[in-house]
Amino acid sequence: MSNSYHIRFSSGINEVRNMGTDDLRSKFLVSNLFQPHHIELVYSLQDRFVLAGVMPVKSKVELLPFEEITKADFFLERRELGIINVGGKGTVEVDGATYELGKKDALYIGRGKQHILFSSENEADPAMFYLNSVLAHAVYPDVFIPIKEVVPAEMGEFETANRRNIYKIIVKERLQTCQLVMGLTDLLSPSIWNTFPPHTHIRRNEVYFYFDIPKDQILIHLMGEPAHTRHLICHNHQAVISPEWSIHSGVGTAAYSFIWGMGGENLEYSDMDKVNPMDLK
């Protein structure tokens, strides 16, 4: 197995106003998360949020300490972790306990767990484990969340092309975490807009991970201040780091899915500052 990490530094409002396309992409867009038998990790200084992709193929892949950035003996010494599988069936072993995750199944792992191993059931259809991690001040139990047990909230309208199912997976109504909140949204075809009207939440950083974007289709992620919007062109299995002050909304050329992960001041999913679409520029 192999692993690599990258550090993304925080960016302010005035800085982003003056960024061109290349700077925006290098600061906020995350690519190449899934590589065979590899852990690709990004450490964002927006709330010290970690996102990573793990793609085991023929053998198990272990989550190493990444001590260069954590300065810890093991990765979850001071962190908690959320995992959602976006590939084939796979297994996560947590200090000897085994969890089998199908596509869109999730697992929360509390602070203090030391040995985490990932594997795939079928190397021809490997699991792809998407990880979000934030700092943790307390220890809470591990929880496996099968997607079939999560009742989606259907929101939006077909007339405005934003009808979607929202799966609230790692939320306080279901389990206790320190600050991690995660879930996923499926666009209901032919809808193509997510999170519209847009919003900000100054109390929390958020990361969007886009998946199931059809081949040869794209997604346009909108970010920035409401009156100074910017955009990123995204492809399948790419993520966008969204600062607390930035809107986060997107539109694709076809229906798709995305995972939203948050960390910060509180655990309220509904804590958002809505933006009037007529104020966007």
How many domains would you assign to the chain? 1
Q: What is the pLDDT of residues 242-251, one digit of tens each?
A: 999 999 999 9
> Measuring CA to CA, which residue among 211, 35, 58 is closest to residue 121?
58
Strand partners, 91: 100, 119
> What is the predicted pLDDT for the residue at 203?
83
Q: What is the pLDDT of residues 227-267, one digit of tens each?
A: 999 999 999 999 999 999 999 999 999 999 999 999 988 77
Rounded to a whole number of angstroms, the distance between the first and last alpha carbons of the chain is 46
> What is the predicted pLDDT for the residue at 199?
82
Q: Please tell me whether the overall predicted TM-score, pTM, comes out greater than 0.85 for this model.
A: yes
137: containing domain: 2-279
- Torsion of the alpha carbons at 229, 265, 261 and 7, rounded to the nearest 10: 80
- Give kind and range of the element (H or E) at residue 182: strand 181-187
Q: What is the pLDDT of residues 9-24, one digit of tens each?
A: 988 899 999 999 999 9
CA distance 261 to 241: 10
Assign residue 114 the CATH number of its domain: 2.60.120.10
Q: Is the omega angle on the peptide bond into residue 190 within 30 degrees of 0, that is, cis?
A: yes
Q: Are β-strands 219-225 and 249-252 bridged in parallel, bridged antiparallel, or unpaired?
A: antiparallel
Q: What is the pLDDT of residues 119-133, one digit of tens each?
A: 999 999 999 999 999
> Measuring CA to CA, which residue among 238, 243, 198, 192 is closest to residue 222?
198
Per this entry, what is the length of the chain?
A: 281
